[in-house]
Amino acid sequence: MNMKCTILAALSVLSFQPLFAQEINRSKGDPKLSEYYEPAAPIVTPGRTSQDPPSDAIILFNGNDFSQWKSEKGSPIAWTLENGAMVVKGGSGGIRTKLAFGDCQLHVEFRTPAEVKGDGQGRGNSGVYLMDRYELQILDNYNNKTYVNGQVGSIYKQLPPLANASRPPGEWQTYDIIFIAPRFYADGRVKSQATITVIHNGVLVQNNATIWGGSEYVGAPVYKKHGEKEPIYLQDHGNPTAFRNIWIREL
């Protein structure tokens, strides 16, 4: 070994010694100094399956009635109840929850019609609107092509899904959603944008994605100041899309 290599080796050993000494000091320290017990995490009993509501969930639809919902038109809900599901009646208008929510974990099961009619946006179209304005698209995209930022799993006209996890028409599908609401300054400026994570049929399709603003059919999305909590809205787009087993956890 030449003189240069010898000097470099010595410097390497010297530079490592303080780190090694730190590790020795840590191992001799008191581990309890980095432990705490309060506040304890709340106890939540999980459902028997990933689809079942946990013990702290609010049940928004249990298959029996529309008690947690109201029509957007102010009239009695015209959607139908069929075998534990609520089915959109085209032209009757969407429905929204009586309760309002902000940050949340939301579980929704939906089914597009088994009888395929139309194509593109005309097949099984509906939507889940967080805070009454940020739309997670519902559509039959099983062998059905449309614009990618308008297909199932997209944040409509904004964010395309990471994958197309569609099941065939007539089969039940699941959305598991983690939504963090936007925050606003008093003057209406955006303090922080909304974010969303979506798992569609067990497949991650939105990964902590930043929402650009309220969903718009025409034009760019923009944020408009709204309440800290707003209703969940289910869209009537003219197709008899069905919903069941809807529950939510406030975060």
Give the pLDDT band (50/70/90) at residue 23.
low
The answer to whether 218 touches 209, Cβ cutoff 8 Å, is no
Residue 15 phi, psi dihedral angles, 5° rounding: -70, -25
pLDDT digits (tens, 9 = 90+) for 112-161: 999 888 889 989 999 999 999 999 999 999 999 999 999 999 999 999 99
Distance from chain centroid for Cα 22? 43
pLDDT digits (tens, 9 = 90+) for 178-198: 999 999 999 999 999 999 999
Does the pLDDT at position 17 exceed 80?
no
β-strand partners of 179: 104, 196
Does the pLDDT at position 25 exceed 90?
no
- How does DSSP classify residue 49? S
β-strand partners of 104: 179, 250
Q: Give the pLDDT score at 7.
A: 47
Work out the end-to-end distance of the chain between its first and last CA atoms, rounded to an integer number of angstroms. 63
Exposed, middle or buried: residue 162 (CB in 10 Å: 0-12, 13-18, 19+)? middle
3 state SS of 12: helix
Q: Which helix (H) or strand (E) holds 176?
A: strand 173-180
The amino acid occupying position 203 is V
Could you check whether the bond before residue 53 is cis, i.e. omega within 30 degrees of 0? no
- How does DSSP classify residue 16? H
Structure tokens at 124: 């099984």
The answer to whether 97 touches 61, Cβ cutoff 8 Å, is no
pLDDT digits (tens, 9 = 90+) for 88-108: 999 999 999 999 999 999 999
Give the pLDDT band (50/70/90) at residue 203.
very high
Count the Cβ atoms, other than its own, within 10 Å of residue 57. 18
Give the pLDDT band (50/70/90) at residue 32.
confident
The amino acid occupying position 26 is R
Q: Give the pLDDT score at 24.
A: 53
Distance CA(171)–CA(114), nearest Å, equals 8
pLDDT digits (tens, 9 = 90+) for 213-241: 999 999 999 999 999 999 999 999 999 99
pLDDT digits (tens, 9 = 90+) for 57-88: 999 999 999 999 999 999 999 999 999 999 99
15 vs 81, higher pLDDT: 81
Q: Give the pLDDT score at 2.
A: 59
| Domain 58-250 grouped into CATH 3.40.30.10 | no
51 vs 21, higher pLDDT: 51
- How does DSSP classify residue 50? T
Give the pLDDT band (50/70/90) at residue 13.
very low
Structure tokens at 168: 């065939």
Q: What is the pTM of this model?
A: 0.87
